[in-house]
Amino acid sequence: MRIIRLLCLATLAGTTVIPAQTQTAPVESAHDLVRDVIYNELHDRERDSHWQYRSACVSSSRNIVREQVETDEGILYRVIERSGNPLDAKERHQEDARIATLLKSPNELARLRHEHEVDEGRLGKIMAIMPSAFLFEYEGTPTGDRVRIAFRPDPAFVPASYEDRIIHALGGTFTVNQRLKRMIDMSGHLIERVDFGYGILGHVEKDGTFEIRREQVSETHWKTNLVAVHIEGKVLLLKNVSKDQQESRSDFRPVPKNTTLAAAKEILDQSTSIENEAKLVHVSR
């Protein structure tokens, strides 16, 4: 009887350990989790919220840091650094003049807003077709709420456009918060060269890379804090395609939903003034 009691206690003790070990293990398929994460990401973009943040853009042709404010009418920004150096007095005056001219030019504002919407639309399209274009499987062991998911092209997917063909040639990983069902990071590379018109119209080279990171900025909102793209190729015989750029964003601060472009300029002016005063204090010390 003593042996039986000991065996029963050991069995009960063993069963109490299992839930603790599997507490953070995924309880749904990798595909279903990715589908839910992408749904949340796409709908978060539709929410009416505006933010001020610092943006650092690096490419083959520029290296600038900007302070940006989102509005219903588009994004207004002020360049504060070029090639690692703060703007001098002349350059700051030129930025003031550029912003003043921009606020008086509806056509230019519309163009900038359209460019931003196109960029956001491309990212949204990539995410929208992923559940049908890729196969997913869990990778490694979850760390708390964080889980990694590997993705690779689904052979059954039929691309509807050249852009879809490029997306379908990607392979990589998602890192997601499985409790909140939000994306933390998505990175990958082109696992094969993509030819257009059997290579006659152009191609995109194998091994191009990309990375997108998201950051929780409030209880209900997440923002993109990194976009890095590095691809090369040729399109239409002679035109080189070289997209080697990275934008990182930081210091997200909410601004009122009804912020106008004029109000955004005041916010930028105030931020610049505070930053300049802080630099003067630092120099004097």
Contact predicate 234/203, CB 8 Å: yes
**Which is nearest to 261 in space by CA: 104, 119, 53, 118?**
104
SS3 state at 256: coil
CA dihedral 95, 243, 117, 34 (to 10 degrees): -130
In this prediction, residue 6 carries a pLDDT of: 36
Q: How confident is the model at residue 162 (pLDDT cuts 50, 70, 90)?
A: confident
Q: How many CB atoms lie within 10 A of CB 194?
A: 22
In this prediction, residue 66 carries a pLDDT of: 97
- Burial class of 50 by CB neighbour count within 10 A (0 to 12, 13 to 18, 19+): middle
pLDDT digits (tens, 9 = 90+) for 198-229: 666 788 889 999 999 999 999 888 999 999 99
Residue predicted with more confidence, 266 or 110: 266
Is the pLDDT reported for residue 5 higher than 50? no
Is the pLDDT reported for residue 11 higher than 70? no
DSSP single-letter state for residue 21: H
Q: How confident is the model at residue 126 (pLDDT cuts 50, 70, 90)?
A: confident
In this prediction, residue 172 carries a pLDDT of: 96
In this prediction, residue 20 carries a pLDDT of: 31
Phi, psi of 205 (to 5 degrees): -70, 150
pTM of the model: 0.79
Rounded CA-CA distance 248/139 in Å is 26
Strands of 205-238 (E only): list them: 209-216, 222-235
The whole-number average pLDDT for the span 178-185 is 95
Residue predicted with more confidence, 184 or 13: 184
Is the pLDDT reported for residue 67 higher than 70? yes
Rounded CA-CA distance 94/79 in Å is 10
In this prediction, residue 137 carries a pLDDT of: 97
* Bridge partners, 246 (sequence order): 58, 228
Residues listed for the chain: 285
Tokens linked to 28: 């749904």
**Which is nearest to 225 in space by CA: 180, 172, 186?**
186
Is the pLDDT reported for residue 21 higher than 80? no
Domain boundaries of the chain, sorted by first residue: 29-284
